[in-house]
């Protein structure tokens, strides 16, 4: 995976990499510092005030009077004025940040429709013509340094789309479309997570935004637009099995499999992980997943497939051709 985000803190929102998130990070740190300064100043004044009175009274050899003189009021007004300045400054800064991140700085390079499903993300790349549109899952490639507009919706329950290093959270709600945008200023892989509890496998619902240099992104996009190549050799029987056993839920563009209950698998091998970050996309990971997804992601909306050993081999051989 990429190098932009330290792997030790893949979900850190205090280190951000683009104009959607950076102003918010500045505001977060600013408000933390302001709040700490207020606590510090008030504490020092309270302690100092009490101590000074005691010291004065002691040196004058008097007992402390119960009531004070009326002069204390000026401190109250000063305190109120300072508080007002701090609060108004925080409000103005917050409003300025909200205005800055409300819409992209330039015309979006790309519009994506991202749909939250139990428990994976569908990503539809809208092209200028219908033939330029394609669908993928969980790993969302974008060109680096360009704003991306995202239309979010939910397929079943409410989920929430969150790529901490790039943008704040936006809910995906069935029956409505929420807009967000993001931009990555450094190439790399940015991990995200569903952040609205959505059932059993909510924790295994990762999303990855992969920011590519423009030429790499264009190559990736061209690749995704291709139909699956016709299978030959041992994979050919795997293709038949796939259409029969899996095609009701999965699409592979180019063969007679057009299901939409699960991820589009046309370019499955271009993804680093399976099942929204749950399993690495290796030969053993893939075979394990097909044989029994319930063992790896209990509750996932894909049933165990009850395939024989040879069938499993053929199917895996076929899926591995989906580059
Ligand atoms: C009832 C619908 C259904 C059937 C039938 C089904 N799947 Fe799935 N499949 C899903 C769903 C839903 C997911 C997403 C699971 C998740 O991530 O929670 C999935 C995920 C996958 C993935 C991981 C894709 C990715 O990008 O993460 C692969 C690979 C896969 N299925 C292969 C198959 C194969 C091969 C068959 C046939 C033996 C099959 N599926 C049958 C619904 C189905
Ligand atoms: Cu969730």
| 114 lies in the same domain as 220 | yes
**Residue 284 DSSP code:** H
Q: Is 248 in the pocket of ligand 1 (CB under 6 A)?
A: yes
For position 281, which CATH number holds? 2.60.40.420
Identify any residues that bridge with 113 across adjacent strands, giving them in sequence order: 124, 151
Distance of alpha carbon 87 from alpha carbon 82, whole angstroms: 9
Distance of alpha carbon 241 from alpha carbon 14, whole angstroms: 48
Domain containing 308: what range? 234-319
Nearest C-alpha neighbor of 278 from the set 174, 137, 148: 137
Distance of alpha carbon 22 from alpha carbon 165, whole angstroms: 9
Q: Is 276 in the pocket of ligand 1 (CB under 6 A)?
A: yes
Domain membership of residue 13 (yes or no) is no
pLDDT, position 6: 46
Q: At how many degrees (to 10) do helices 73-102 and 22-60 cross?
A: 170
| 93 lies in the same domain as 116 | no
Domain membership of residue 15 (yes or no) is no
What residues contact residue 270 under an 8 Å CB cut-off, 6+ apart? Answer: 136, 139, 220, 223, 224, 323
Domain count, the chain: 3
Distance of alpha carbon 56 from alpha carbon 51, whole angstroms: 9
Beta carbons of 27 and 94 less than 8 angstroms apart:
yes
Domain membership of residue 275 (yes or no) is yes
> Which residue bears the tokens 């139909």?
227
Beta carbons of 209 and 166 less than 8 angstroms apart:
yes
Domain membership of residue 12 (yes or no) is no
Beta carbons of 224 and 270 less than 8 angstroms apart:
yes
Domain boundary among 203, 225, 247: 225
| 195 lies in the same domain as 250 | no
Domain membership of residue 76 (yes or no) is yes
pLDDT, position 178: 98
| 35 lies in the same domain as 76 | yes
Q: Is 19 in the pocket of ligand 1 (CB under 6 A)?
A: no
| 221 lies in the same domain as 114 | yes
Domain membership of residue 218 (yes or no) is yes
**pTM of the model as a whole:** 0.91
Domain membership of residue 16 (yes or no) is no
**Which atom of ligand 1 is nearest to 276's Cα?**
17
Domain membership of residue 9 (yes or no) is no
Q: Which of 115, 239, 240, 262 to mutate to test the pocket of ligand 1 (most atoms within 8 A of CB)?
A: 262
Ranges of residues in the chain with a pLDDT under 50 are 1-4, 6-7
| 114 lies in the same domain as 179 | yes
For the chain, the straight-line distance linking the first and the last C-alpha, in angstroms and rounded, comes to 18
| 47 lies in the same domain as 149 | no
Domain boundary among 48, 80, 102: 102
| 114 lies in the same domain as 98 | no
């Amino acid at each position: 995976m990429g190098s932009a985000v330290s792997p030790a803190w893949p979900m850190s929102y205090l280190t951000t990499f683009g104009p959607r998130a950076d102003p918010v990070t500045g505001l977060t740190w600013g408000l933390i510092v302001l709040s700490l300064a207020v606590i510090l100043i008030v504490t020092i004044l309270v302690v100092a005030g009490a101590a000074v009175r005691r010291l004065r009274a002691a040196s004058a050899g008097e007992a402390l009077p119960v009531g004070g003189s009326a002069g204390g009021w000026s401190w109250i007004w000063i305190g109120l004025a300072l508080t007002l300045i701090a609060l108004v400054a925080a409000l103005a800064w917050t409003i300025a940040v909200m205005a800055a991140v409300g819409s992209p700085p330039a015309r979006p390079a790309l519009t994506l429709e991202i749909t939250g499903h139990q428990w994976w993300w569908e990503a539809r790349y809208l092209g200028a013509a219908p033939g330029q549109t394609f669908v993928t899952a969980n790993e969302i490639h974008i060109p680096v340094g360009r704003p991306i507009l995202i239309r979010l919706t939910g397929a079943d329950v409410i989920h929430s789309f969150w790529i901490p290093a790039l943008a704040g959270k936006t809910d995906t709600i069935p029956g409505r479309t929420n807009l967000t945008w993001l931009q990555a200023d450094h190439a790399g892989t940015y991990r995200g997570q569903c952040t609205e509890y959505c059932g059993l496998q909510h924790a295994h619902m990762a999303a990855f935004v992969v920011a590519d240099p423009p030429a790499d992104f264009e190559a990736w996009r061209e690749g995704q637009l291709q139909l699956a190549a016709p299978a030959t050799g041992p994979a050919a029987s795997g293709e038949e099995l796939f259409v029969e056993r899996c095609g009701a839920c999965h699409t592979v563009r180019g063969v007679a499999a057009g299901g939409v209950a699960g991820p589009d698998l046309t370019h499955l091998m271009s993804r680093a992980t399976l099942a929204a970050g749950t399993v690495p996309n290796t030969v053993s990971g893939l075979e394990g997943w097909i044989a029994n997804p319930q063992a790896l992601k209990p509750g996932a909306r894909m049933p165990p497939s009850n395939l024989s050993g040879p069938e499993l081999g053929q199917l895996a051989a076929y899926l591995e051709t989906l580059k």
